């Protein structure tokens, strides 16, 4: 009998900081949980209204490909925001939140034993988990040449990145596109934090200046979780190479991976609106302006962090020692070793807490 699938997988990272969380919760002024990227701000009113209006119309099953209105909204967003050109419906696909997609992509592309999946050296853990579920080998590297030398089946890149907030330059993105195409690998670009660039402007692989006017071999993944505070709605989508999107659509039809009908309506509404995104950016920027200098004054160095919703902070010590130091002050952070060995001397500190909790955390660092 084969061992259970869970035996292939690492321990769930957040289970390993339960003791630190308990210590932080014991603080007299309560816990400042800066360890997770869960939005805390309200769902936009337009989303709530659209959900209520759409709900009665969806007694039947939605389609995996999504409604024509949603596909048009995805195309419009990718063209207006990320400079994609003349997209067709066969180049877009809604997904049930992008974490599901990240975990399932290698398997759904037919990748398995004997194949290699490249992930960033410091990376969101689910990239590795998806490769392991499929039985593939994982190579963690930030070097396109090293990646190409491994003849991978799939390459993941992430910009702005989770956990460290680095934003890939246009030249770096072009190098990854060239590396993937030189070996026939699919290049999956996780751009879920694309709306949040603070010290550099994010660029998409959908931009002709990056891809040479062709989406061949490319998939860009987007989410409304952070952009629109819709993490609980499970609303994401893909844009990219028509044959790759078509393969995913065919497999996902068999699996019944459908975004719910009312959520599809909400997605179309939110993708057409930029005002709520601008407002949310200002919330996060204000929290960053409070927390970053407080950490620096307390002796932390902030590395990368040009974008996304995190500060990549270090005291030049093992990350678990830093987690303990913060926990004594009622602050919970994510240890950098969650994201690979390269992160062992950093912690990830999230901006996704209320203004009051961010201010409380900053005051405890003095």
pLDDT digits (tens, 9 = 90+) for 291-346: 999 999 999 999 999 999 999 999 999 999 999 999 999 999 999 999 999 999 99
Round the average pLDDT of the chain to a whole number and report it.
97
Q: Are residues 187 and 319 in the same domain?
A: no
- The reply to whether 47 falls in a domain is no
What mean pLDDT is predicted for residues 146-163?
A: 98
CA distance 116 to 137: 5
Which two three-digit tokens encode residue 180? 């993937």
pTM score of the predicted model: 0.96
Tell me which residue of 361, 312, 358 sits closest to 339, measured CA to CA: 312
Q: Are residues 173 and 64 in the same domain?
A: yes
Contacts of residue 37, defined as CB under 8 A and 6 or more positions apart, other chains included, come to: 162, 226, 309, 310, 350, 352
Q: Residue 358: enclosing H or E segment and its boundaries? A: helix 355-364
The larger pLDDT score, comparing residue 288 to residue 2, is at 288
Domain boundary among 245, 271, 297: 271
% pLDDT > 70, the chain: 100
Q: Are residues 26 and 78 in the same domain?
A: no
Q: What is the CA radius of gyration of the chain?
A: 20
CA distance 128 to 139: 9
Banded pLDDT at 206 (limits 50, 70, 90): very high
Q: How does DSSP classify residue 267?
A: H
Q: Are residues 218 and 140 in the same domain?
A: yes
pLDDT at residue 15, rounded to an integer: 85
**Per-residue pLDDT for 13 more than 90?**
no
Q: What are phi and psi of 185, to 5 degrees?
A: -75, 150
- The reply to whether 50 falls in a domain is no
Q: How does DSSP classify residue 301?
A: E
List, for residues 15-60, the tens digit of each pLDDT value.
Answer: 889 999 999 999 999 999 999 999 999 999 999 999 999 999 999 9
**Per-residue pLDDT for 121 more than 90?**
yes
Q: Are residues 125 and 264 in the same domain?
A: yes
**Per-residue pLDDT for 153 more than 90?**
yes
- The reply to whether 49 falls in a domain is no
Q: Are residues 227 and 283 in the same domain?
A: no
CA distance 123 to 262: 32
Domain boundary among 253, 271, 289: 271
**Per-residue pLDDT for 2 more than 90?**
no
What mean pLDDT is predicted for residues 250-272?
A: 98
Q: Are residues 348 and 284 in the same domain?
A: yes
Q: Are residues 282 and 267 in the same domain?
A: no
pLDDT at residue 246, rounded to an integer: 98
Q: Are residues 21 and 100 in the same domain?
A: no
Per DSSP, what are the bridge partners of residue 236? Answer: 95, 223
Residue 330: give the domain boundaries: 5-42+276-364
**Per-residue pLDDT for 1 more than 80?**
no
CA distance 60 to 62: 7
Which two three-digit tokens encode residue 76? 């419009």
Domain boundary among 220, 240, 271: 271
pLDDT at residue 73, rounded to an integer: 98
CB 70 within 8 A of CB 270: no
Question: Can you give the CATH number for the domain in which 322 is found?
Answer: 3.90.1150.10
Backbone region of residue 217 per phi and psi (left: phi > 0; alpha: psi in -120 to 50; beta: other values): left
Question: Can you give the CATH number for the domain in which 170 is found?
Answer: 3.40.640.10
- The reply to whether 51 falls in a domain is no
pLDDT at residue 7, rounded to an integer: 79
pLDDT at residue 23, rounded to an integer: 96
Which two three-digit tokens encode residue 73? 């909204």
Count of domains observed in the chain? 2
Q: Are residues 189 and 158 in the same domain?
A: yes
**Chain center to CA of 347:** 17
Residue 306 burial by CB count (10 A; 0-12/13-18/19+): exposed, middle or buried? buried
Q: How does DSSP classify residue 94?
A: E
List, for residues 182-191, the tens digit of each pLDDT value.
Answer: 999 999 999 9
Half-sphere exposure of 109 (CA within 13 A, CB side): 30
DSSP three-state, residue 6? helix
List, for residues 275-287, the tens digit of each pLDDT value.
Answer: 999 999 999 999 9
Q: Are residues 106 and 230 in the same domain?
A: yes
Q: Are residues 266 and 134 in the same domain?
A: yes
Q: How does DSSP classify residue 50?
A: H
pLDDT at residue 89, rounded to an integer: 98
- The reply to whether 206 falls in a domain is yes
């Amino acid at each position: 009998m084969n061992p259970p699938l869970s035996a292939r997988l690492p321990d769930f990272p957040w289970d390993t900081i339960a003791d630190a969380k308990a210590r932080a919760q014991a603080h007299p002024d309560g816990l400042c949980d800066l360890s997770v990227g869960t939005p805390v701000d309200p769902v936009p009113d337009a989303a709530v209204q659209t959900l209520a209006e759409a709900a009665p119309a969806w007694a039947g099953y939605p389609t995996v490909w999504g409604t024509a209105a949603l596909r048009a909204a995805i195309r419009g967003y990718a063209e207006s925001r990320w400079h994609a050109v003349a997209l067709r419906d066969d180049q877009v696909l809604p997904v049930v939140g992008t974490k599901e997609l990240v975990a399932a992509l290698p398997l759904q592309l037919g990748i398995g034993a004997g194949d290699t999946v490249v992930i960033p050296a410091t990376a969101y853990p689910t990239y590795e988990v998806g490769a392991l579920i499929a039985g593939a080998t994982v190579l963690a590297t930030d070097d396109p040449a090293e990646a190409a030398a491994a003849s991978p089946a799939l390459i993941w890149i992430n910009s702005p990145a989770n956990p460290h907030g680095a934003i890939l330059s246009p030249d770096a993105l072009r190098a990854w596109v060239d590396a993937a195409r030189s070996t026939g690998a699919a290049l999956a670009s996780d751009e879920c934090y694309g709306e949040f660039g603070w010290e550099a402007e994010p660029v998409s692989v959908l931009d002709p200046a990056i891809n040479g006017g062709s989406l061949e071999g490319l998939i860009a993944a987007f989410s409304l979780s952070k952009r629109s505070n819709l993490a609980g709605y499970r609303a994401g989508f893909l844009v990219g190479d028509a044959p790759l999107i078509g393969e995913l659509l065919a497999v996902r039809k068999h699996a019944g991976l459908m975004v719910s009908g009312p959520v599809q309506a909400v997605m179309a509404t939110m993708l057409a609106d930029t005002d709520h995104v601008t407002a949310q950016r200002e919330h996060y920027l204000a929290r960053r302006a409070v927390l970053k200098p407080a950490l620096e004054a307390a002796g932390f160095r902030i590395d990368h962090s040009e974008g996304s919703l995190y500060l990549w902070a270090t005291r030049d010590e093992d990350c678990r020692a830093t987690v303990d130091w913060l926990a004594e002050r009622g602050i919970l952070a994510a240890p950098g070793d969650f994201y690979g060995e390269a992160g062992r001397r950093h912690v990830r500190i999230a901006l996704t807490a209320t203004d009051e909790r961010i201010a409380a955390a900053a005051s405890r660092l003095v």
